[in-house]
Structure 1
Amino acid sequence: MCFTAHELLTIYELNSSGLIRDQFTQLSPALIQQLLSKACTETTPTTDPSEDTLSTTERYVYATLANTVICLAAMFGIVMLLCTSCSSVFQLCVQFCISLAVGSLTGDALLHLLPTFLGLHVHEEGHNDGHSGENRTYTFKLLVVLGGIYYFYLMETIFSIITRKNSDPHHHGEEGDPHHCDHGKVLEMYQREKQNKLSTSQADLVDGENNVKSFPEPAPRTREQKLLPYMITISDGIHNFADGLAMGAAFSVSWRSGLATSLAVLCHELPHELGDFAVLLHCGVSVKKALLLNVGSAMTSFIGLYIALSIATDTVAKEWIAAVTTGLFLYVGLADMLPTMIHVDSKRPWLMFVLQNLGLLTGWGILLLLSFFEDKIGV
């Protein structure tokens, strides 16, 4: 039987604050017995490999399946964008996806990846009882960090809604072309252009006359406008490559880590791909070419995935990739997507506010449950 240090001190009725030489002499036969019997060294390794660690084949299969599902979900969202006609409902759904992405990205970065590469959480089922109190302590401290982010999000969003009501409503949304990272405004712009083209075509059918000369010819595209689709595709490819690295490193640790990271990647890829696709169409790229560019950039995630699965064989490589992934997720969640939530223009701002809070709390709640119970989940 393996005794802990506290149990040995209790058995010998010794004080845990310090030991004098005679007390250590009294305790040393028990320590020698524990070493010779190997009672403490044979209990922990037997449960870890079969329960938590994946084989090489399972890593590649599970990671490839998860990445394929993410790519298909993004493509399905693009098809829905092309087919939908109810722009207000679609905008609400996109904002919910963006808020869910912020919650899952920051939750995975702070509650899962950060403790992993700092050595605060180790996937060892044999030590659950001895470290449960310590694990809960650092988790609660990281929850305070998320609470700070949530508090300032609430303050800025509420102030933004109140001040927007008192200002001119027509002043917003007319500042020119939005940046391609501003997913909400990009999709709103795409829906507005789609409605304008539909109304123009209907007017042409009613008139029945050749009004080609009444429309001004489109201005020639600048060099920046011609290069923008390729710049967006390259940046999207680099982003997807980093997502693949993150997923590969996560599945190298355990299937539970892969599940948490895949969830975070899935939640933020859908609005990200929709925004990039809308910008490509706005730049004058055809639907077919925009789909091909999106698919090409999505394929780079498989390159990063297989590179990470091949090099993340030791603990040091996994920790460094997890550290890079933490920075990526925090940047995308807080610098890329959170501002689009705060400054979104909507005719029903309080409904949008409720949906955003629901998405944030859902993302954080899922990752919190995974952080507490991932070692108790069986395949």
Structure 2
Amino acid sequence: MSLVELFILSCIYQLIDSSKNEDEKNKASKITSYFLDNLMEQFGSNKELHVDQMQHLLDVAQKKDSCHVAYQIEENSNGYDRLYNGTYDLFNTSKKPECLTAAELLALYNWNGTINSAELQQFTPGLLYQATLQHCNDDNKQEEALSTYTQSEVWGYGMLSITVVVGSGLLACLIFVCVANPHVYAILLMTMVSLAVGVLTGMGFLFLIPEALQLSENYDKGEYIWKLTCVAGGLYFLVIFERIIKVLKHAKQHRIKQVNSNAKLLVESPTKEQKMAVPEGMKSLRKEQVDSVAWVLILGDALHNFVDGIAVGAGFAQSILTGVGLSVCIICEHVPHKVGDFAILVNAGMSVKQAALYTVLAGTMCYLGLTMGILVGELTDATSWILALAAGIFLYIGLVDMLPEICEKVDDEKTVKGQLKIFALQNLGILAGYSIMIIVALYASDISFE
């Protein structure tokens, strides 16, 4: 082969190589333009980005905000597969843009495992675009996985949970009948109420409020859980501070009474009959009020169960985990209240069988509430509103209804030692209940019912 022929072949090779490189550059430019056009269409206006729009883009990329138009843009666009003319058919006909890894993005550009600064400049729009895709967030993937259950599973778990709720109340009433010692009964009831305060407060702050406000979609889970725990901690600190002041005040008054033995006692000592009476919260009723009070109590209990069922149904419509969490909270609140209602019905003149029968009949309203809650949650967008309402109800029951009840137990004790004992037992129950809800909230994504 002559020198002239070698020269001609070399020129042809250079032309082919140059044309190939030019094609690669054009392809990379098309890909970059595609990402840039989508970003401008999502976040800009008239192919321009203002400062507030750039801030919104940054917030979405940092998962501090949500973007609601990414899927619509993909549906209206030609898609990556058409852009590449079939050379990289990765997306097919998916409605959502694919979540690409770094290696897959490099493959789009036909680049190797390393890129230089000039290539990074072309590569950056693709990285930024992927960062704005909400469904590519690991937390969102876990939440979608938790909520992807069939209708039969939702209804099955819901019915099972309500059955456990109703059964737990009846079992607690049976235990109440078997416990003969009023002191032991009072301790058990107070411990359950204290546990319920912690569980209800934790469910309201850590589950229902975040679900209603959709905090888990836009914020790191650990961040808002601990911040909401600080809110609950502020409330708890004030309760503890107030109780300590009252205990110290009672101790001071007790010392003054011992010094001045002639002074009148401000509080009469309980008689033997009072000590053996039914514990506070289970107060006996007058016979002439028996019939009316009993029926009003049953009606109120049925309505209460209906509302509880709606809350559980809305929770299961949201996700299985939320529904189970709500069921656990309702059990903690359900058991002590059922025992109290049962005692009142017995004191009202009903037999044990009659009281148990009406307790079960009132509990069946939970099933009706569950049905309505699931249907409303599935057919409408009212789930978040129902959960927000449930959060308010749970916080009210825990902090306004049950917490003062256990605080009165401390005041009823006549000795400082007895007050401190009950105070410690109550706080142990509250902290245990709230700690359980923190653990469940932090590791909810690892819980599966499959």
Give the TM-score normalised by the residue count of structure 2.
0.62
What is the distance in 2 between the residues matched to 1:117 and 1:249? 11
State the partner residue of 2:24: none
What is the distance in 1 between the residues matched to 2:168 and 2:403? 22
Q: 2:356 aligns with which of 273, 283, 291?
A: 291
Q: Does 1:141 align with 2:227?
A: yes
Q: 2:384 aligns with which of 309, 319, 334?
A: 319
State the partner residue of 1:304: 369
- Aligned ranges for residues 222-261 of structure 1 at < 5 Å? 222=288, 224-261=289-326
What is the distance in 2 between the residues matched to 1:358 and 1:33? 50
State the partner residue of 1:101: 196
**Contact conserved, 2:194 with 2:406, CA < 8 A, in 1?**
yes
**Contact conserved, 2:172 with 2:335, CA < 8 A, in 1?**
yes
Larger RCO, structure (CA 8 Å, separation 6 or more) = 1
Cα pair distance change 1:54/1:18, threshold 3 Å = closer
What is the distance in 2 between the residues matched to 1:111 and 1:46? 20
- Report how far residue 38 of structure 1 moved: 12
Residue 54 of structure 1: SS of its match in structure 2? coil
- Report how far residue 304 of structure 1 moved: 0.3
Cα pair distance change 1:311/1:351, threshold 3 Å = same
- Report how far residue 70 of structure 1 moved: 1.6
- Report how far residue 172 of structure 1 moved: 8.0
Q: 2:430 aligns with which of 353, 360, 368?
A: 360
State the partner residue of 1:199: none
**Contact conserved, 1:247 with 1:262, CA < 8 A, in 2?**
yes
Deviations 1:124-158 (A, max 9, x none): xxxxxx843xx333222211211122112212323
Q: 2:174 aligns with which of 79, 97, 105?
A: 79
Segments of 5+ residues of structure 2 without an aligned counterpart are: 1-34, 40-50, 55-119, 255-264
What is the distance in 2 between the residues matched to 1:144 and 1:360? 15
Cα pair distance change 1:47/1:161, threshold 3 Å = closer
Segments of 5+ residues of structure 1 without an aligned counterpart are: 9-15, 20-25, 123-129, 178-182, 194-218
What is the distance in 1 between the residues matched to 2:151 and 2:185? 41
Cα pair distance change 1:164/1:303, threshold 3 Å = farther
What is the distance in 2 between the residues matched to 1:38 and 1:360? 41
- Report how far residue 291 of structure 1 moved: 1.4
- Report how far residue 324 of structure 1 moved: 1.3
- Report how far residue 86 of structure 1 moved: 2.1
Q: Does 1:62 align with 2:157?
A: yes
What is the distance in 1 between the residues matched to 2:188 and 2:219? 40
Cα pair distance change 1:315/1:105, threshold 3 Å = farther
What is the distance in 2 between the residues matched to 1:185 and 1:138? 38
Moved more, 106-115 or 37-46: 37-46
What is the distance in 2 between the residues matched to 1:111 and 1:18? 32
State the partner residue of 2:421: 351
Cα pair distance change 1:251/1:169, threshold 3 Å = farther
- Report how far residue 100 of structure 1 moved: 0.6
What is the distance in 2 between the residues matched to 1:236 and 1:268? 13
- Aligned ranges for residues 1-379 of structure 1 at < 5 Å? 31=125, 40=133, 43=136, 49-122=144-217, 131-132=219-220, 135-164=221-250, 166=253, 168=265, 171=268, 185-187=280-282, 189=283, 221-222=287-288, 224-313=289-378, 316-344=381-409, 345-346=412-413, 348-379=418-449
Aligned length: 315
What is the distance in 2 between the residues matched to 1:18 and 1:288? 68
- Report how far residue 315 of structure 1 moved: 6.9
**Contact conserved, 1:101 with 1:264, CA < 8 A, in 2?**
yes
Cα pair distance change 1:55/1:331, threshold 3 Å = same
Amino acid of the structure 2 residue aligned with 1:117 = A
**Contact conserved, 1:249 with 1:321, CA < 8 A, in 2?**
yes
**Contact conserved, 2:198 with 2:429, CA < 8 A, in 1?**
yes
Deviations 1:181-208 (A, max 9, x none): xx96134x57xx9xxxxxxxxxxxxxxx
What is the distance in 2 between the residues matched to 1:33 and 1:91? 62
Deviations 1:73-99 (A, max 9, x none): 111111111111122122111111001
What is the distance in 1 between the residues matched to 2:233 and 2:142? 35
What is the distance in 2 between the residues matched to 1:74 and 1:60? 21
Deviations 1:253-273 (A, max 9, x none): 112112221111111101010
**Contact conserved, 1:186 with 1:278, CA < 8 A, in 2?**
no
What is the distance in 2 between the residues matched to 1:228 and 1:42? 54
What is the distance in 2 between the residues matched to 1:32 and 1:121? 26
Cα pair distance change 1:283/1:136, threshold 3 Å = same
- Report how far residue 112 of structure 1 moved: 0.8
Deviations 1:22-49 (A, max 9, x none): xxxx9798547987x9995874687654
What is the distance in 1 between the residues matched to 2:202 and 2:135? 35
Residue 316 of structure 1: SS of its match in structure 2? coil
**Contact conserved, 2:146 with 2:321, CA < 8 A, in 1?**
no
- Report how far residue 115 of structure 1 moved: 1.0
Amino acid of the structure 2 residue aligned with 1:156 = E
What is the distance in 2 between the residues matched to 1:95 and 1:18? 55
What is the distance in 1 between the residues matched to 2:181 and 2:266? 22
Cα pair distance change 1:160/1:298, threshold 3 Å = farther
Larger Rg: 2
